Amino acid sequence: MEARVSQYVRSDLRGFTGYASARTSTQAGTIWLNANEAPQENPAAPTARRYPSPQPPELVQRLAAYYRVLPNQVLVGRGSDEGIDLLIRATCHARQDAILVCPPTFGMYEVSATIHGAATVKVPYAYHHPNALIDWPAVVKAALTNPVKLVFLCSPGNPTGNSLALNHVANVARTLEGKALVVVDEAYQEFARSPSAVSLLAEHENVVVLRTLSKAFGLAGLRVGSVIAAPELVQALRACQAPYPLPELVIEAATNALQQEAWPNVQPVIAERQRMEQELSKLPCVEAVFPSEANFVLVRFANSDQAFAALQQAGIVVRDQRYHPYEFMANALRITIGTKEQNTEVLACLEAL
Ligand SMILES: *Cc1c(COP(=O)(O)O)cnc(C)c1O
């Protein structure tokens, strides 16, 4: 397995072990004078005197238990955003290799690729009322005919909202074995009915899953995300990561948060999403509500300029999606599910149109 998974890593990084920090040293002792830390705690943050563990064992264990994988399949880092960046840097030769995305999708894949000097191959979603659907044969063809090292799939999709069928993901992974990693970004998985792609890891060495505490756990400000992958790939990504990716105070808060099975905020958000889907689709100004398995709804308006302006006027800020060059997105706005009261205000504002 080791040799097989390393074929996805950049040839010049195979065997690269990264920076050996004072924290990764395996020495034993009771008086630690190897990292030039201060001898006294700072009362402003007494638990932060020492450099943090690069992969805090208790946090990694709790994440692994929550995602139902083994601790050596988890790399924790500064949000899934860092996971995306690490995957691109570890697998793509700059000015040579490419990633593949299915727009409209999360913007960070292309941003990270561009900064690294990797190209972005785009296979747009096709619109089949009421859903935006991935063009699977086109994804496979484009991945095989371009120097693609990473295929980014988002499930549930941002901003499209729907989940991908795992049999399609598995087929793409099988076809691209030995050529590319298939990354399933599950930032919104807790809100979905469909199962996680984590179940594909046992059968498919080239499947990678991204998860985050930013959405369902209500901890976007902590910046904690996980890459879930084959252990050898986790090691290769770790070698490319900053020496101490998570601050001590963040490690403490995230470890505490994972004491509960799932943040109790999820069910009320799902209930409100269903109410918003129903109520929005009754409004005369709304053309279509995309079925959502996430904590937002994508809504197509008869006139999205008017809807955007009316919401803005009422002090309600939503995500403009009109910059996407796809016809089915031309009049679309993405609305995050808020509290019951906030959602009712959104409806009241749009009812008047
Ligand atoms: C919000 C979001 C993320 C960002 O996750 P962080 O862990 O906060 O970096 C990743 N992917 C998608 C699709 C998102 O919508």
For the residues of 237-303, what is the DSSP string, one character each?
Answer: HHHHS-SS-S-HHHHHHHHHHTTSSS-TTHHHHHHHHHHHHHHHHHSTTEEEE---SSSEEEEEES-
Distances (CA, A) of 329 to 73, 154, 193, 291, 350: 37, 17, 24, 14, 19
Q: Is 81 in the pocket of ligand 1 (CB under 6 A)?
A: yes
Q: Is 79 in the pocket of ligand 1 (CB under 6 A)?
A: yes
Question: Does residue 180 carry a pLDDT above 70?
Answer: yes
Residue with the larger pLDDT of the pair 23 and 212? 212
Q: Is 85 in the pocket of ligand 1 (CB under 6 A)?
A: no
Task: For ligand 1, pick from 155, 189, 209, 214 the residue to mutate: most ligand atoms within 8 Å of CB.
Answer: 214
**Which string of b and e fits 55-70 if b means at least 16 CB within 10 Å?**
bbeebbebbbebbebe
Give the ligand 1 atom nearest the CA of 212. 7
pLDDT on residue 1: 46
Tell me, rounded to whole angstroms, the distance of Cα 268 from its chain centroid. Answer: 22
Q: Rounded to two decimals, what is the model's pTM?
A: 0.96
Output the CA 41–ligand 1 centroid distance in Å: 34
Output the CA 194–ligand 1 centroid distance in Å: 19
Residue with the larger pLDDT of the pair 265 and 334? 334
- Nearest CA residue ID for atom 5, ligand 1: 80
90-136 pLDDT, tens digit each = 999 999 999 999 999 999 999 999 999 999 999 999 999 889 999 99
By three-state DSSP, how is residue 71 classified? helix
Handedness of CA 35, 38, 41, 45 (dihedral sign): negative
